[in-house]
Structure formats: C-alpha cells, structure tokens
Structure 1
Amino acid sequence: MSKTSFAVLTKARSKFGKRLTEKDYQSLLVCQSVGEIMSYLKNNTHYSKALTDVSEREIHRGRLEALLRQNLFYEFDSLCRYDSSVSSGLSSYIISTLEVEQIVRFLILLSSNSTDKFIYQFPGYISKHTEIDVNKLANATNYEEFLNATQSSQFYDILKQFSPDEKNRLPISDIENKLYDLVFGKLTKLIKATTKGQEKRELINFFFTINDYNIFSRILRLKKYYKLSPDDIKSNLLLNYTNLNERTIDMMCKAESSGEIFSIMQNTHNGRLIDKIGYVYASDISPRVKYRLAKKNMHFSNNPSVVMISYMFVAETELMNIITLIEGTRYELDNKLTQSLLIK
C-alpha cells in the first residue's frame, strides 16, 4: 500500500472514530431548543471547529443545517485531495448527486411557480464546483430559462429532451431517473477503468446494493403515491446498476400490495438485510442499509477508496440524525419516537 493510500485510510478512520457516541445522542435528545443542540455540538463534539464562530443565541434551524452540510462537503473534499483518479471520481460523484438534488428541487418549485424560494436553500459551497450557472438558475422563472442556466453542465443533453406540457407540468420523476442514470453510469465506468480485484468488487457491490434498495424504495413510492403501471414504474428505475435480476424487478413492479413487494425483496440475497436493520417507516430502509454497509466497510475494508466513500456515507447519516434531532425538538416530538428514527 502506498503512503498516500495509507494516509487516506488513517485519516478516514480517525474521523470515523470521532463520530457521535451513544452518550452524545442521549445528551442531544434532552436538548430543548436548536440553540441547545448547537451549543452541545459546538462544545462537546467534532463539530466544534465548524461552529466556532457561530452564536448559540442567533442560530436557527436552517442556518445550522446549512453549516453542518457545508462542513460535511469540505470534509470529504479534504479526503479527496490526493493524486488518485478514484478519489477525484468519487468527489465528482458527490458533487453530481448534489447537482441533481438541486435540479430536481428547482423543477418542483417551478411546477408550483415558487422558484423565488430556490436560492434561499441553495448550498452555496458547491457554486465553485458546478458548471451550472447558479445566478441564472436563481433568476429563472420558466423551463427555457432553466435550460439556459444548465447548458454548460453535463446534464444539459438530458434536460433539453423535456418540456412542460400544456398544463405546464414536467415528468420530474422521469427526469430525475435519467439524471441519476448518467451519474451512476459515469461512476461505474470510472470504477471499472481505474480499479481491479477486491477493490473493484467491493466498490461495485457497495453501490449496486445501495441501488438495489433505492429500486425497492422507489417501487414502493411510485406504486403507493403515484399509482403508476408496472411498465411506467420500471422505466423510472436504474436498471443497469443493480444486483437484482429482471424477474425480481418485474415481480415487484407488478405486485398488488406493499406487503407483496416486501416479501419479494426479502427473498433476494441482499433483501435479507431488511430483517436485520430495524426501521420505523419504509423510507428508512434504504438509508439504514447504506449506513450498515458503510459502517462494515469502515471496520473491515483495506481499500482506501472504499473506506473513503464509506466514511462519507457514515458522516452523511450522522448529519441526518442531527437534523432528525433538530426537527424532534422543533415539533416537540416524544423522545422515544425521535430516538427510534435515529440511524445508529
């Protein structure tokens, strides 16, 4: 193993060792306000540096979440500052997923004529990492202006294939799927071109298993909330990056109930994880599986790229937990309910 590779492993595992403990979570659960949560994170955890110059008296929920997301982005960016095509590729993957999230969020706002709200929640820290013209996007009020803002990005050729219908509606789910297909395609191509042996197998299996559960969750959501036909559901799935066979996917798309979809998934090799993770809502399953796999990789993988992206997913889950704690405090939820929603 090269010195650079060893440094990546050491740095990622050192950060992993500083993650929030059960004691931290118990202390955060009893906080009575966003300010108290902020104060605890600032004075007792690895978030202290990120929150050094922030006052507990002035902080609000949106600002705290934005600061923590920014901190997470910069943490991963620091891990990727090594001379490695895999590292730079994984960094591009993270940026691309953030871009897709923002594109989809903008299109949802566009459909409700609320694009003026877009810029207030835009993560400014990615502005210098994206080819999307953020200023044009912030001022766009229709799809044509939106396309103009994205014409220099990798997504433009996909986005220009769509246009609003006579009622100004867009097939947002279809657009989202095609964008993620591009992102996953580039990631898979990178992994196959720059890695080999155990490292390649670990990375491919990691991302494909994550997508297996994304497919499962997407089928549940599209069937329950959108009442789509089996063919329409299938067209909204990333079918080129999965361990699930076509017959299994067809069966889930044609299933008559959520229970039947669960049963089909649980009978697959990877689907057996559902019984092991503990969850409150079906939407919890995919992130819980991703966290479980990432945590396992942190302990047992010796491949720097696997450990690096796994740390990113562990840290992302920790951020989701903090947001859950903030929301629990804001809406005065029962501590037992909030605790059940935490992924640990």
Structure 2
Amino acid sequence: MPAVVNYEAINTKVHSILGRRLKGDDYKKLLSLTSVNEIALYLSKNSDYGRYIASDNLNDIHRDELEKKLKMMLIYYIDKFDNYFSGEYRDFFMTFYSKYEIYDLKRLARLIHIEGELQSLREYLVFVDYYKNINVDNIIKAKSIVELIEFLNNSVYYPYLKNLLDGNKEENLFRFEMVLDKTYFLILFKKIKKLSGIDKKAFFEVFGPIIDMINLQWIYRGKKFYNMYPDELFNYTIDGGGKLNYKSIKELCYSKSVEELEDRIKLTPYSFLIKGDDMQDIYMERRMNRYIYYKLINTIRKNKRDISNVLVLMQIIEFEIRDIVSITEMVRYGIELSQSNNFLIKAV
C-alpha cells in the first residue's frame, strides 16, 4: 500500500513558496537593469535566490556563475520536500534530481559538439556533482559524444545510451538528448506505478501536456533538421502524453515531409505551434513552454489534495530560472522591454 502523504501541509508549503516567486514588476525591473551583476544584486535583495546569491562581491559575477546559483534553488526545494515524503513517494520525488542531472549532461554534450572547453565548465555543474552518482572528473575529459557515453558506463543512463555507440557522429548529439529525455520518463514511470490511483492520475494531468510538447519538439526537429527515419523517430518518442495518443504520435512520425507534418500538427490541439512564418522555429520552444506554464497555473489554482501541486511548483521554479537566464541575455544584448515577451516563458 502506498505511503500516507500529508498533502494539506505540502500544499500550504507550496503556496507559501509560490507567493515568493518573482512578479511581473520584478521581471520589468530586471529588464531595466544593465548588467549581470545588477541583476544578481537585485535578486539577492528581493527574492528567495538571495539564499545563494550574497549581496556582496557581485561585481565580477558572470552569467554562468549566476545560473549555477539560481539552479541551486532547485536542489534546495528537492531536499526541502524530501522531508514530506517517505517510502515509494520519496523514491518517486527524488527522480526530479535525475531530471536536472540530465540537464547538466546535455550541456556537456552540447559543449563537446561545438568543441568547448569542458574543464572550465566543471565549477558550474550543479546536479551531476551533487550526489556523486556520476564521476565528473571522468566525463569532463570526453572529447566526443561517444566518449561521454562510455564515461557514463556505471550510471543509470548507460543501458539506454549504449545503443548510440554506432559511430554516427553527425546525429549523436540530437539522439543523445532524445534518449536522455526518454530515459528520464522510463525511470519516472517505474516509480509512478507504486503511487496511489489518485496520484497517478494527478501526475498525468500535470505531465501529459509536457510529454506532448517534448514529443512534438523532437519529431519536428528530427524530421526538419536531421532527416531521421520515421521508425527511429517513433522509437524515441515517449508514451503517456496528454492529448496525443500512440496512433497520433505514430502518424506524425511517419509524415512524408515537413509540410505534411505541419499540416498534421494543425489538426491537433497544438495547432498554435505552427505559424508558417520565418520566426516559427525560433519561437516554437517558447510557445510550448508558455502553453505548459499557463496549464500549470490553472492546475495550482485547483489546490487539489494530491501530488499535483508539488509537481507544478518544481516546474514553475524551473521556468522562472530559465526566464532569469533569458533576461540576463536580453540585458547583455540590449533587447528592448517591448520585445521581451518574444523570449520569456512568463508574459510580462
């Protein structure tokens, strides 16, 4: 029998934390600043991120360092809510750590792909170095995606990644990212089986749209930019989505052209992703994330006594961190406030 969870206490904590999230006025203030250190100073004095951003010694802070400090809040909340769960529920909730560990692995892979210097990245890794599940000193030595996979041979991800060791250098980055995303959900789905029926339903209400967006993004990119075979593309998709079932996902993967794929997407509830203009590819991910964001806000307002609120909270914090990082880039490149909504998940 699943463990008993005190959702009244959890929901109280969730709403307390949400009440301290950045408001629209905070976004506007951040966008009015002129440097990373000004942004860091504002956050240190006016947000929960001050827990990891000391108000002194910020003159030389740069984007990567600030991003690491922001992401420490994700670990803080995982550890915080860990205290509210036990048994199989704690085991399930701790899979969030794997989700963010995968983010670090993707970042490493992208740097390898563009021949970045991994040694200098080590100090900015947040998740892979926290619980010591992965030997960071090894993986930062990787000179290729193949080597990175080989250095992960003792990790939970290796059984899923090893099939990529086929010498295909051109697509390995894209497939590496797809496999890791699917791996996370395969791990997650195993944990979900041990939750109560109410919480299983709550999980899919929250994550169904997220899975749909991931599938659509991979299918679109795989077909448009990598010319992947339909069967391979379909093999990397994730079951358990919201409005896209097995049949509709397969039909999307087997579209004969990008144009046919776009026409098929237009027949789904996600037709808003296909604008048919030159900016479609640039803004597609932002449209996906914004759609998810407002679905999450709607869920949290229902204040149900199930696992949904804490799942929503973690995703909202993640989105907020992404927005802050985007703001640092906008400030860096002098993008005007009037253009900010083109790049932010939360509309200002």
Name the TM-score class by shorter chain.
0.7 to 0.9
Rate the CA distance shift 1:53–1:25 in 2: closer, same or farther, 3 A.
Answer: closer
Contact (CA 8 Å) 2:68, 2:126: kept in 1 or not? Answer: no
CA–CA separation in structure 1 for the residues paired with 2:53 and 2:7:
30
Deviations 1:228-286 (A, max 9, x none): 33333323322455542333223323446656545533533x537769xxx97112132
Rate the CA distance shift 1:83–1:45 in 2: closer, same or farther, 3 A.
Answer: closer
Contact (CA 8 Å) 2:323, 2:344: kept in 1 or not? Answer: yes
SS in 1 for 2:307: helix
Query: Which of these residues, 4, 13, 16, is aligned with residue 14 of structure 1?
Result: 16
CA–CA separation in structure 1 for the residues paired with 2:315 and 2:202:
15
Higher mean displacement: 256-265 or 229-238: 256-265
Contact (CA 8 Å) 1:34, 1:326: kept in 2 or not? Answer: yes
Shift in Å, 1:212: 0.8
State how 1:260-279 maps to structure 2 within 5 Å: 260-268=260-268, 270-271=269-270
Query: Which of these residues, 163, 168, 172, is aligned with residue 165 of structure 2?
Result: 163
Q: TM-score, normalised by structure 1?
A: 0.85
Higher mean displacement: 71-80 or 115-124: 115-124
Matched, 1:191 2:195: no
Shift in Å, 1:308: 0.7
- The number of equivalent residue pairs is 338
Higher mean displacement: 253-262 or 223-232: 253-262
Deviations 1:272-316 (A, max 9, x none): 7769xxx97112132222212222222113235211110011111
Contact (CA 8 Å) 1:89, 1:187: kept in 2 or not? Answer: no
Provide the residue aligned with 2:304 in structure 1. Answer: 302
AA at the equivalent of 1:181:
K
Provide the residue aligned with 2:98 in structure 1. Answer: 96
CA–CA separation in structure 2 for the residues paired with 1:320 and 1:109:
19
CA–CA separation in structure 1 for the residues paired with 2:239 and 2:5:
38
CA–CA separation in structure 2 for the residues paired with 1:175 and 1:214:
14
AA at the equivalent of 1:47:
Y
SS in 2 for 1:128: coil
SS in 2 for 1:247: helix
Higher mean displacement: 179-188 or 138-147: 138-147
Provide the residue aligned with 2:277 in structure 1. Answer: none
AA at the equivalent of 2:284:
A
Matched, 1:226 2:226: yes
Matched, 1:178 2:179: yes
Higher mean displacement: 180-189 or 5-14: 180-189
Higher mean displacement: 302-311 or 320-329: 302-311
Contact (CA 8 Å) 1:159, 1:175: kept in 2 or not? Answer: yes
AA at the equivalent of 1:134:
V
Rate the CA distance shift 1:143–1:49 in 2: closer, same or farther, 3 A.
Answer: closer
CA–CA separation in structure 2 for the residues paired with 1:3 and 1:96:
22
Shift in Å, 1:143: 6.6
SS in 2 for 1:139: coil
CA–CA separation in structure 2 for the residues paired with 1:163 and 1:229:
18
Query: Which of these residues, 311, 314, 322, is aligned with residue 312 of structure 1?
Result: 314
SS in 1 for 2:236: coil
CA–CA separation in structure 2 for the residues paired with 1:307 and 1:272:
28
Shift in Å, 1:219: 1.6
Higher mean displacement: 48-57 or 291-300: 48-57
Higher mean displacement: 46-55 or 5-14: 46-55
CA–CA separation in structure 2 for the residues paired with 1:302 and 1:240:
22
Provide the residue aligned with 1:212 in structure 2. Answer: 212
Rate the CA distance shift 1:46–1:227 in 2: closer, same or farther, 3 A.
Answer: same
CA–CA separation in structure 2 for the residues paired with 1:155 and 1:81:
26
Contact (CA 8 Å) 1:61, 1:326: kept in 2 or not? Answer: yes
Rate the CA distance shift 1:46–1:116 in 2: closer, same or farther, 3 A.
Answer: closer
Provide the residue aligned with 1:324 in structure 2. Answer: 326
Shift in Å, 1:169: 5.5
CA–CA separation in structure 1 for the residues paired with 2:30 and 2:226:
37
Contact (CA 8 Å) 2:5, 2:85: kept in 1 or not? Answer: no
Higher mean displacement: 222-231 or 57-66: 222-231
Contact (CA 8 Å) 2:82, 2:93: kept in 1 or not? Answer: yes
Q: TM-score, normalised by structure 2?
A: 0.84
